[in-house]
Amino acid sequence: MNPKKCDSPALAITRQHRDRALPPDKFAPRGRPVPTGRLSRLARFATLASDVAGGIILDGARQFVEGRRPSLNDLLLTPANAFKVMHQLAHLRGAAMKVGQLLSMDAGDLLPRELADILGRLRSDAHHMPRSQLRATLDRQWGRDWERRFEWFSFEPIAAASIGQVHRARTRDGRDLAIKIQYPGIRDSIDSDVDNVSALLRMSGLLPAGLDLSPMLTQAKQQLHEEADYEREGRYLQQFGVLLAGSPDVLIPDLHPDFTCKNVLAMSYVGGTSLDALEAAPQVRRDRIATLLIDLVLRELFEFRLMQTDPNFANYRYSAETERLVLLDFGAVRAFSPETTDSYLGLLRAGIAGDRASAIRVALDLKLFPGQIPRVRQDEIMALFDLAMQPLRNEGLFDFGKTDIAARLRDGGLRIAANRDVRTIPPMDVLFVQRKVGGIFLLASRLKARVDIRKLLEKYV
């Protein structure tokens, strides 16, 4: 496959055909060009810092006149400032937006509710490219005659996320496609964007004291570089399609290689409802979705040894018609060694049995914590492990809507992190598994689902 252009016939096209599109949708008024140069992106960060500082001064002056003496944190952690952060990150897209997504999802319980809610919009609420920038991007990827290949192509995206936006199209030979198109300049801006947004958030005070973002930001850089390679994602899309072929519960779109290249991913269009929209669905449906998600995590870890590690809500759909979970994104796939998966299996067995001595041995093998830390810290960590095992030891349905385990794990983790004698960061494989498992737990909690976890675990432990 040509790395510059996907397969494109050298045929002329008419202006009338170039302008053919489906009717505009809700994204239409929000098209904004993606800043592609390093200086233009840096200027956006400077603008954001200035806007937040200006908001602090104005709000502080107003409260002072009203006779109040707000703290700096009170002035920083306001919905207005959070909205400014969200707005600029959504405009920048790329790594800047991904950090906001990671914060809203992975650290949602650590952030003030207002800030978490506003940053949470970044999971599925990005600006999209205007038509001129979109056309220029596709001209570079497919050649200027690319529209001759389609019966119709919607210039308004059906989704816009951190590194790309998705469009529907129908080919001349009748294929209904969802086409993910990467924003220009995103790949080259990943490292600098992550560093800039990290520095900005630390200096602004928008994050609680003691929250160590280093592992998360390192993970964001690595994940974004992998996600930015759409040919790599296409290979994993095909591999998961084989692994889950014939599944009555999970549906994987088909890859269309003739339209796929490094910056464009084409797959069959599959309809469904976003999981965000199912929080008020009937209990039985929410229970089924959470059960399918947890079962899939177990299969990924213990059967496939291949996991899609990003639990973002936007990566899933649910088809009420077929009662199947639809998997849409495979940019953050990671393979695991048999040794790693065997260790996790041993950890589960020890945890369910309440065998702390065995659990400690396996935890040391996984490097969940260093062996030389004081015994009191080791006991604190294992107490959190015991807490995390409670849903797995539960007989019958575990009610995710009636538990405070996530908050207690958060509080205990912050207390441990505040001690300087616990400095070692677990291996990346462990961090990826923790992130996926933790994200699915939060997702099940959001759905207030009830799941028989012990039943799902029986065939493994």
Does residue 267 fall inside a structural domain?
no
pLDDT in tens, 116-169: 555 555 555 556 788 999 999 999 999 999 999 999 999 999 987 778 889 999
| pLDDT at residue 96 is higher than 60 | no
Catalytic residue among 310, 342, 365, 452: 310
Q: Are residues 146 and 115 in the same domain?
A: no
Q: How do residues 154-211 score in pLDDT, each as one tens digit?
A: 999 998 777 888 999 999 999 999 999 998 888 887 887 777 767 766 665 555 555 5
**Residues 359 and 315 reside in one and the same domain:** yes
**Structural domain total, the chain:** 3
Residues 161 and 294 in one domain: no
- Whether 156 is in a domain gets the answer yes
310 labelled catalytic: yes
pLDDT score recorded for residue 290: 96
Q: Is residue 15 part of a domain?
A: no
* 155: CATH: 3.30.200
The Cα–Cα gap between 295 and 240 comes to 15
- How many Å separate Cα 418 from the centre of its chain? 27
The single residue listed with the structure tokens 């496609």 is 177
2-14: average pLDDT: 40
Same domain, 293 and 412: yes
Cross-strand pairs, 165: 160, 181
Structure tokens at 243: 């692994």
- Does 79 share its domain with 117? yes
9 part of a folded domain: no
**Same domain assignment for residues 395 and 333:** yes
Based on the fold, state whether residues 200 and 155 are members of the same structural domain. Answer: no
pLDDT band at 7 (very low <50, low <70, confident <90, very high): very low
Claim to verify: residue 358 and residue 427 sit in the same structural domain: yes
**Domain residue limits at 245:** 130-182+229-257
Residues 341 and 242 in one domain: no
Q: Are residues 106 and 251 in the same domain?
A: no
For residue 76, pLDDT over 90 is answered with no
Q: Is residue 11 part of a domain?
A: no
When comparing pLDDT for 429 and 453, which is higher? 453
pLDDT in tens, 320-339: 888 999 999 998 899 999 99
Instruction: Give, in degrees to the nearest 5, the angle at Cα 10 between 7 and 13.
Output: 110
pLDDT tens track for 413-451:
767 666 655 555 677 788 788 888 888 998 999 999 999
Chain center to CA of 169: 25
Cα–Cα distance, 275 to 316 (Å, whole number)? 7
pLDDT > 70? residue 55? no
Phi and psi (nearest 5°) for 379?
-65, -40
**170 and 194 share one domain:** no
Residue 100, phi-psi category: left (phi > 0), alpha (psi -120 to 50), beta (remainder): alpha
Residue 340 lies in a domain: yes
In a shared domain, residues 324 and 418:
yes
Query: Is 4 inside any structural domain?
Result: no
What number is the average pLDDT over the span 268-290? Answer: 93
Tell whether 5 is covered by a domain: no
